[in-house]
Structure 1
């Protein structure tokens, strides 16, 4: 960890790798949630598998939590290091001359996403932990869809989720594409990879917004 903090290149690579890992999880999470808008039974089956599989619960879930924390910590470290470098090396710094607005404000979209994750954990992860390990409630394979539907009953909460996904799109628009460059992906497929990243940054957040709206309207 000390080496990562001291080396600018290592910090960017670590940030990119953790981001790519979270993108993979985001796609998996979207795939499961998307089934909720056309089949409650399929959503229940997938959610029950993810919620009871030991590999998912005791290996992949801790790895995911570590990945989220690591990504955000590295984001703050990079932001602080970059600000210090600009203050030392440039008397007058015009960030807009060399970088897009989104690339210069990743920290702010990241903070909104972090706040959203707090809400998401409060809505889903904490009740799940209480259900399993505090109340020791009997397992019900059909409970997942009604619980999901209940979370989107409020128009205010649905709006907060939708707004959060807009910021997720902004964050992915720069972050996903730049992660390929950070890990050294610079060949004849670079243009295609960038286009894929841009499309992903729009399609997945919009898909999540559609899911939230459909679930809200299903009440």
Structure 2
């Protein structure tokens, strides 16, 4: 197993699996956040469950964080190895004639997405930990909606940063999501349908997050 884990194919498969795992989290995260637009009470209810459930907090959340770190570290490792194997830099490689810009700049978009995730954890996760474990505030199942919209209301800088980050996430997913299935060897009669689905997902979900941020900004001026 140690030998297999060092092969290029094994690294790419691990990268694909971790990416698919993060896509599932992204879909789940969007579904919860979108309820803040249509039903504040539902958003509070789901957020309270996620924030107080032991399985979510003690098991799923650490797995998610580990998955994020693994995916992006593996991405950097593969990028460095690909550069060495090719023997030329990107600015000497006529990629435009052979591959789209998105596929040639996955490390760039991935780096920005990783930075955004760090900001997101700093903006939401750390304050949540402080609220519950440092300040030891009493449980309030109705606070989540107000705390969320307060992040965007009257704050064009944060709203803009989130929107730009999700646009770059869209570019990252446009290539990465479909590539994950190709890496896993999916090449059958469903391939064309999978390609359409991954492209639709890569556009709709990130743009949905942009809509949520902009909605709360303008709706609470």
> Above 0.5 in TM-score?
yes
RMSD: 1.5
2:120 is the counterpart of 1:125:
no
| Partner secondary structure for residue 87 of structure 2 | helix
- Paired with 2:145 and 2:164, the residues of 1 have a C-alpha distance of 23
Structure 2 residue aligned with 1:44: 44
Q: CA deviation at 1:4?
A: 6.4
Deviations 1:44-84 (A, max 9, x none): 00000000000000000000000000000000000000000
Please name the residue that 1:166 is paired with: 167
Q: Quote how far apart the aligned CAs of 1:178 are.
A: 0.6
1:113 matched residue in structure 2: 113
Shift in Å at residue 131 of structure 1?
A: 1.1
> Shift of residue 3 of structure 1?
4.4
Report if aligned partners of 1:5, 1:77 keep a CA contact under 8 Å in 2: no
Following TM superposition, where does structure 1 have runs of at least 4 consecutive aligned residues deviating by more than 4 angstroms?
Answer: 1-5
How far, CA to CA, are the matches of 2:145 and 2:160 in structure 1? 20
String of CA shifts for 1:97-152, please: whole Å, max 9, x gaps: 33221111000000111111111111100001111111111110000001001100
Equivalent residue number for residue 78 of structure 2? 78
In structure 1, the residue matched to 2:180 is 179
Q: How many residues align?
A: 216
Unaligned 5+ runs, structure 1: none
5 Å matches for 1:184-199? Answer: 184-199=185-200
TM-score (norm 1): 0.95
- Aligned to 1:117, what secondary structure does the other structure show? helix
| TM-score computed with the length of structure 2 as normaliser | 0.94
- Structure 2 unmatched runs, 5+: none
